[in-house]
């Protein structure tokens, strides 16, 4: 209540407030935000006032049209034998229409003030509920921001832990490969990414080449002995 009196009302002073129930932006703004009971009542009242205003304007135009037609009828029967009686009937109808029109005009004079009053109250409630929504969202934003910051720190730690574990596995594999050869993968049930496999395979290649060179030398010597 303090916000409404101390902040919101002064903020609205002198401002031209759009008719909320006719403002599509207001409906978009309030989508997903639960309306209070008071807001629902004000919105309903505002719609009824606008509906009444529209109805009175429409009926006032119809009354003026009927009056105009009756005036023409009075002129048209002036020369008739029973013209005076008809003129009297038309005049009575016109007087009744004038009385109804005066009532409508009086109500139409008061309606804009009532519409502005209800619209103003609805705007105050809108500002209040939006203020609370912003406060709630800000708290959530801060909580999530803190969680993200903590997760970033934890993520960096886990990246380092992962790299350390991968390096240790590579060291273990390299050592065991020197002892057991390529079958170390089956013995220890180890899995490696292509980069590690490439490094390990590259390191193992010279031994294979050396063994291959030794076998080629022996084959060549056998061929020469056979030739003799």
Q: How far is CA 156 from CA 146, 162, 166, in A?
A: 16, 10, 15
Give the CA distances from residue 38 to residues 88, 123, 134, 191, in Å, rounded to whole numbers and listed in that order. Answer: 53, 12, 20, 66
Helix orientation angle between 83-180 and 194-227, rounded to the nearest 10 degrees: 40
pLDDT of residue 17: 87
Of 15, 37, 29, nearest in space to 131 by CA: 29
Mark whether 173 and 145 lie in a shared domain: no
Query: Comparing 160 with 189, which gets the higher pLDDT?
Result: 160
Query: How high is the pLDDT of residue 170?
Result: 84
Cβ burial, residue 13 (10 Å; 0-12/13-18/19+): exposed
Judgement on whether residues 52 and 111 belong to the same structural domain of the protein: yes
* Statement to judge: residues 59 and 80 lie in one domain: yes
82 shares its domain with 171: no
**Residue 86: predicted pLDDT:** 76
Total of domains in the chain: 2
Spatial distance between the Cα atoms of 180 and 207, rounded to a whole number of angstroms = 13
What's the predicted TM-score (pTM) here?
0.64
Q: How far from 87 is each of 64, 68, 95, 100, 136, CA to CA, in Å?
A: 18, 14, 12, 20, 71
Map 183-223 to HEC letters: HHHHHHCCCCCHHHHHHHHHHHHHHHHHHHHHHHHHHHHHH
17 and 130 both lie in a single domain: yes
Look up the domain containing 172 and give its range.
157-227
| Same structural domain, 196 and 118 | no
129 and 37 within one domain? yes
Section 171-175 average pLDDT: 84
For residue 176, pLDDT beyond 90 = no
User: 210 and 110, same structural domain?
Assistant: no
pLDDT in tens, 88-118: 787 888 899 999 999 999 999 999 999 999 9
Are residues 210 and 138 part of one domain?
no
Give the pLDDT confidence score for residue 198 in this predicted structure: 44
**Each residue's pLDDT tens digit, 186-228:** 777 666 543 445 444 455 554 444 444 444 544 554 444 444 4
Confidence of residue 19 (pLDDT cuts 50, 70, 90): very high
Rounded mean pLDDT, 152-174: 91
Check pLDDT > 80 for residue 3.
Answer: no
| pLDDT > 70 in the chain, percent | 76
Q: Are residues 16 and 65 in the same domain?
A: yes
Give the Cα separation of 138 and 147 in Å (integer).
14
Identify the pLDDT of residue 190: 64
* 141 in the same domain as 204: no
């Amino acid at each position: 209540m303090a916000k409404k009196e101390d902040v919101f009302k002064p903020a609205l002073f002198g401002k031209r407030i759009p008719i909320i129930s006719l403002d599509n932006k207001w409906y978009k703004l309030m989508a997903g935000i639960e309306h209070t009971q008071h807001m629902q009542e004000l919105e309903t009242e505002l719609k009824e006032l606008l509906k009444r205003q529209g109805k009175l304007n429409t009926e006032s135009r119809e009354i003026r049209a009927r009056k105009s037609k009756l005036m023409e009828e009075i002129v048209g029967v002036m020369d008739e034998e029973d013209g005076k009686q008809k003129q009297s009937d038309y005049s009575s109808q016109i007087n009744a229409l004038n009385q109804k029109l005066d009532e409508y005009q009086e109500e139409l004079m008061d309606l804009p003030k009532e519409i502005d009053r209800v619209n103003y109250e609805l705007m105050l409630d809108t500002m209040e509920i939006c203020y609370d929504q912003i406060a709630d969202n800000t708290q959530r934003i801060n909580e999530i921001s803190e969680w993200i910051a903590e997760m970033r720190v934890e993520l960096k730690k886990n990246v380092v832990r992962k790299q350390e574990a991968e390096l240790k596995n590579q060291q273990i594999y390299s050592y065991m490969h020197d002892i057991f050869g390529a079958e170390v993968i089956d013995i220890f049930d180890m899995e490696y990414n292509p980069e590690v496999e490439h490094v390990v395979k590259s390191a193992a290649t010279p031994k294979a080449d050396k063994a291959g060179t030794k076998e080629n030398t022996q084959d060549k010597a056998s061929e020469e002995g056979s030739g003799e």
